[in-house]
């Protein structure tokens, strides 16, 4: 890094169950900790923290208001309050590209005083704290408005229509009224590209009544129907994610469907498409079947990576012609992260995967390090491009919360584990303007690190107890516990137990009541110990006792898998009832749709109570109108 950059020390913003605070470090070998001059506010109600893209401002909610602090250039000076915003229920925060405005979003609610609902998406001017824009935005996903890189254009989608506001010098309307519009349909999406001023923009329109979905590129302000720069149409797209490269010259579309109608995939269908502002479009070729786990642009804007396929998944690097320039091979991976300079990439398997992390030198196409970061829920590169942070946060995981900072060579530089009874909720690096740090030179040299305080998982394969005894030349039967039954000799009691087991084999699978005898005790005591975890002497779940197998994140299947599995199970139940009770196919469909609408109603209640829903649950809520139409059509034809 340049000498000037050596003086820049990014802070680490931390949101926990007890406070919002900023931590800092004096160097790569020095611990991260809260310094007396850095902000810290005790609160149990913070829902969001956010840095501006240049790191000048830091905003957070505390359950009473939103505070915007101004970062100090002096590493020993305090951070003064820039403005206070009266948004006690703020759920999400986002700065505009240059940090001049702060957008806040909260859950949409209807009250007796305002049955039409109050605006829940608001825009504030950071310099004055004044509210400059307010509108109703019911969607929790894709709630963010779009900005041009110079903040001269503000845009968002309302009712499927794209609205544009000119904020540049010499414009009179500002946020007061729209300057241009693009007509669309329900479910439309808009994204303004970075870099160019005026920008290119993409507008997506979902397909309907057999027509394909469509994404069109425009060059602002030419938004006429015959003024498109490029156009891409595709079928099988319930939703789309739009990803611009850093220059705003290329756009990737990740399309997906909730259900694969062919039955080939449990995850639905995914596809990746490419659009260029020069007019080129193509589909990205994928050589393995299965879901698309991750798509990321390189900060260099000339390459992108796709992680896809059934496990072990594949990862490949593509150029702007959508040709594969390097294949990373297969592995247990579902995430990809470029460092800020694009010369390093991390491929990892988080969530329901064991946490394997690979660090690759992108230019030399070689792997530099392998490490294990189990239970990771947050990953982010340091602005210097050499370090990265991994964290285990709630509510995804409520035990073993904490964060670690690593060097790209795999060396552990810092570790902080959260105290018992507290939860780490979020963590974020302070950002900086481009060229603050110079691109690091990548080497294979091993960096000196520290040893983790957490016990390492055993690498030995698990061996059942009876096989261990056989390896030692012992008879396992001699070590089986002898049940004690009053009035019977031990042999007779054992025979009774064996007889019960033999009879048990003839019972239906759901009626078996085998009990694993633990710690040499009898079956009754074992049952008591397992039945009352909070009782004195109760045996703890196996996840918390000594074990020899590697420790994996105690993470359930992703919510979308649970929801799909539940729906499929209920459909099968409906089929069984239909067969047993002569229920018609139409009635079975009505029951199925009604059940989905009931689930959506419950999700909406949870959302209204302030719960942060999963992406698949929010997408399920979006399907409510379709299910209502389907139910109406079924009842009319009955």
The predicted pLDDT at position 638 comes to 57
Q: Which residue pairs from 461-470 have beta carbons closer than 8 angstroms and sit at least 24 positions apart in sequence?
A: 462/548, 462/549, 463/548
How far is Cα 4 from Cα 6, in angstroms, rounded to an integer?
A: 5
The pLDDT confidence band at residue 107, using thresholds 50, 70 and 90, is very high
User: Which residue is listed with tokens 């004690």?
Assistant: 484
Mean pLDDT of the region 82-111: 93
Tens-digit pLDDT profile for residues 482-507: 555 555 554 444 444 444 444 444 44
Mean pLDDT of the region 570-597: 67
How far is Cα 436 from Cα 340, in angstroms, rounded to an integer?
A: 11
How far is Cα 289 from Cα 270, in angstroms, rounded to an integer?
A: 10
Six-digit token string for 506: 């003839």
The DSSP bridge pattern shows strands 200-205 and 213-219 to be antiparallel
In this predicted structure, the answer to whether residue 481 has a pLDDT above a threshold of 70 is: no
Six-digit token string for 126: 């950071």
The predicted pLDDT at position 483 comes to 55
The pLDDT confidence band at residue 146, using thresholds 50, 70 and 90, is very high
Cα–Cα distance list, 403 to 10, 25, 47, 426 (Å) = 16, 14, 19, 10
Containing 578, the helix (H) or strand (E) segment is helix 559-581
DSSP three-state, residue 633: helix
pTM of the model: 0.69
In this predicted structure, the answer to whether residue 153 has a pLDDT above a threshold of 70 is: yes
How far is Cα 557 from Cα 614, in angstroms, rounded to an integer?
A: 13
In this predicted structure, the answer to whether residue 262 has a pLDDT above a threshold of 90 is: no
The pLDDT confidence band at residue 478, using thresholds 50, 70 and 90, is low
The predicted pLDDT at position 172 comes to 72
The predicted pLDDT at position 49 comes to 95
Which of 187-191, 469-473, 604-608 is predicted least confidently? Answer: 469-473
Nearest to 398, CA basis, from 426, 424, 428: 424
- Percentages helix, strand, coil for the chain (3-state, rounded to 5) are 20, 30, 50
Average pLDDT of the residues of the chain: 80
The pLDDT confidence band at residue 74, using thresholds 50, 70 and 90, is low
How far is Cα 270 from Cα 295, in angstroms, rounded to an integer?
A: 11
Mean pLDDT of the region 121-126: 95
Residue 284 sits at φ, ψ, to 5 deg, of -80, 120
The predicted pLDDT at position 531 comes to 37
Decide if 121 contacts 134 (C-beta within 8 A). Answer: yes
Tens-digit pLDDT profile for residues 616-627: 788 888 888 888
Domain coordinates in residue numbering, the chain? 284-372
Six-digit token string for 248: 């705003």
Tens-digit pLDDT profile for residues 438-452: 999 999 888 888 888
In this predicted structure, the answer to whether residue 370 has a pLDDT above a threshold of 60 is: yes
The predicted pLDDT at position 484 comes to 53
The pLDDT confidence band at residue 509, using thresholds 50, 70 and 90, is very low
How far is Cα 559 from Cα 272, in angstroms, rounded to an integer?
A: 23
The predicted pLDDT at position 625 comes to 84
| Cβ-Cβ contacts under 8 Å for 89 (sequence gap 6 or more) | 106, 107, 610
CB atoms within 10 A of CB 596: 20
How far is Cα 303 from Cα 280, in angstroms, rounded to an integer?
A: 16
Nearest to 252, CA basis, from 345, 197, 322: 322
Which of 118-122, 209-213, 292-296, 353-357 is predicted least confidently? Answer: 209-213
The predicted pLDDT at position 543 comes to 34
In this predicted structure, the answer to whether residue 315 has a pLDDT above a threshold of 70 is: yes
The predicted pLDDT at position 440 comes to 92
Nearest to 429, CA basis, from 397, 398, 394, 387: 387
Chain mean position to CA 487: 60
In this predicted structure, the answer to whether residue 548 has a pLDDT above a threshold of 50 is: no
Chain mean position to CA 510: 37
The DSSP bridge pattern shows strands 292-297 and 213-219 to be unpaired
The predicted pLDDT at position 550 comes to 34
Nearest to 193, CA basis, from 50, 282, 343, 301: 301
Q: What percent of the chain has pLDDT over 70?
A: 78
How far is Cα 111 from Cα 608, in angstroms, rounded to an integer?
A: 12
The predicted pLDDT at position 264 comes to 60
The pLDDT confidence band at residue 589, using thresholds 50, 70 and 90, is confident
Tens-digit pLDDT profile for residues 33-62: 898 889 999 999 999 999 999 999 999 999
Six-digit token string for 14: 């931390």
The predicted pLDDT at position 372 comes to 92
Residue 437 sits at φ, ψ, to 5 deg, of -110, 145
Nearest to 346, CA basis, from 383, 319, 386: 386
How far is Cα 153 from Cα 169, in angstroms, rounded to an integer?
A: 11
In this predicted structure, the answer to whether residue 582 has a pLDDT above a threshold of 90 is: no
In this predicted structure, the answer to whether residue 576 has a pLDDT above a threshold of 50 is: no
Decide if 349 contacts 336 (C-beta within 8 A). Answer: no
Q: Domain 284-372 adopts which CATH fold?
A: Thrombin, subunit H (2.40.10)
User: Which residue is listed with tokens 């599995």?
Assistant: 565
Residue 523 sits at φ, ψ, to 5 deg, of -65, -35
Six-digit token string for 538: 């109760």
In this predicted structure, the answer to whether residue 540 has a pLDDT above a threshold of 50 is: no
Tens-digit pLDDT profile for residues 18-31: 999 999 887 767 78
How far is Cα 164 from Cα 182, in angstroms, rounded to an integer?
A: 9
The pLDDT confidence band at residue 2, using thresholds 50, 70 and 90, is very low
Most confident of 468-482, 506-520, 569-583: 468-482
The pLDDT confidence band at residue 197, using thresholds 50, 70 and 90, is confident
The predicted pLDDT at position 188 comes to 84
Tens-digit pLDDT profile for residues 215-251: 999 999 888 888 899 999 888 777 889 999 999 999 9
In this predicted structure, the answer to whether residue 520 has a pLDDT above a threshold of 60 is: no
């Amino acid at each position: 890094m340049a000498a000037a950059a050596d003086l820049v020390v990014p802070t680490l913003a931390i949101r926990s169950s007890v406070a919002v605070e900023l931590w800092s470090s004096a160097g790569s070998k020095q611990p991260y900790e809260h310094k007396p001059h850095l902000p810290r506010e005790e609160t149990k109600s913070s829902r969001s923290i956010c840095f501006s893209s240049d790191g000048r401002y830091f905003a957070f909610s505390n359950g009473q208001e939103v505070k915007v602090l101004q970062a100090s250039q002096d590493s020993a000076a305090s951070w003064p309050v820039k403005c206070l915003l009266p948004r006690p229920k703020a759920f999400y925060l986002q700065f505009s590209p240059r940090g001049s405005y702060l957008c806040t979003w909260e859950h949409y609610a209807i009250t007796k005083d305002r049955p039409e609902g109050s605006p829940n998406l608001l825009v504030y001017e950071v310099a004055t704290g004044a509210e400059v824009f307010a509108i109703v935005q019911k969607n929790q996903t894709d709630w963010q408005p779009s900005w041009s890189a110079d903040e001269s254009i503000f845009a968002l989608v309302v009712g499927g229509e794209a609205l544009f506001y000119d904020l540049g010098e010499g414009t009179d309307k500002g946020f007061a009224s729209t300057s241009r519009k693009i007509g669309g349909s329900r479910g439309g999406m808009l994204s303004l590209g970075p870099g160019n001023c005026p920008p290119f923009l993409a507008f997506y329109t979902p397909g309907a009544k057999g027509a394909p979905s469509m994404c069109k590129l425009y060059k602002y302000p030419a938004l006429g129907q015959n003024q498109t720069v490029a156009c891409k149409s595709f079928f099988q797209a319930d939703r789309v994610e739009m990803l611009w490269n850093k220059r705003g010259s290329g756009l990737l579309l990740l399309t997906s469907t909730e259900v694969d109608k062919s039955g080939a995939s449990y995850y639905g269908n995914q596809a990746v498409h490419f659009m260029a502002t020069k007019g080129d479009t193509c589909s990205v070729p994928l050589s393995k079947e299965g879901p698309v786990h991750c798509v990321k642009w390189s900060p260099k804007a000339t390459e992108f990576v796709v992680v896809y396929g059934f496990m072990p998944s594949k990862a490949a690097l593509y150029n702007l012609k959508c040709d594969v320039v390097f294949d990373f091979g297969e592995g247990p991976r579902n995430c990809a992260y470029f460092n800020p300079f694009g010369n390093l990439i991390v491929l990892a398997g988080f969530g329901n995967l064991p946490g394997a992390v690979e660090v690759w030198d992108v230019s030399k196409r070689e792997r530099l390090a392998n490490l294990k970061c189990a239970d990771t829920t947050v990953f982010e590169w340091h602005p210097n491009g050499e370090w990265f942070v991994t964290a285990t946060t709630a509510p995804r995981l409520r035990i073993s919360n904490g964060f670690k900072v690593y060097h790209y060579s795999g060396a552990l530089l810092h570790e902080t584990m959260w105290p018992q009874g507290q939860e780490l909720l979020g963590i974020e690096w302070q950002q900086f303007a481009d060229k603050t740090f110079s691109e690091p030179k990548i080497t294979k040299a091993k960096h000196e690190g520290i040893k983790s305080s957490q016990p390492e998982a055993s690498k030995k394969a698990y061996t059942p107890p009876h096989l261990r005894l056989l390896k030692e030349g012992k008879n396992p039967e001699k070590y089986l516990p002898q049940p004690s039954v009053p009035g019977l000799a031990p042999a007779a009691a054992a025979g009774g137990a064996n007889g019960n087991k033999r009879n048990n084999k003839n019972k239906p699978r759901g009626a078996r009541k085998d009990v694993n005898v633990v710690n040499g005790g009898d079956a009754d005591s074992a049952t008591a110990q397992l039945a009352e975890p909070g009782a004195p002497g109760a045996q703890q779940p196996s996840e918390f006792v000594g074990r020899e197998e590697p420790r994996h994140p105690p993470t359930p299947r992703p919510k979308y898998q649970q929801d799909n599995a539940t729906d499929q199970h209920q459909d099968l139940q409906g089929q069984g009832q239909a067969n047993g009770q002569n229920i018609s196919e139409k009635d079975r469909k009505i029951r199925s749709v009604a059940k989905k609408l009931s689930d959506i109603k419950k999700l909406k209640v949870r959302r209204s109570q302030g719960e942060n829903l999963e992406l698949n649950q929010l997408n399920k809520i979006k399907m409510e109108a379709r299910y209502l139409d389907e139910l109406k059509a079924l009842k009319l034809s009955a």
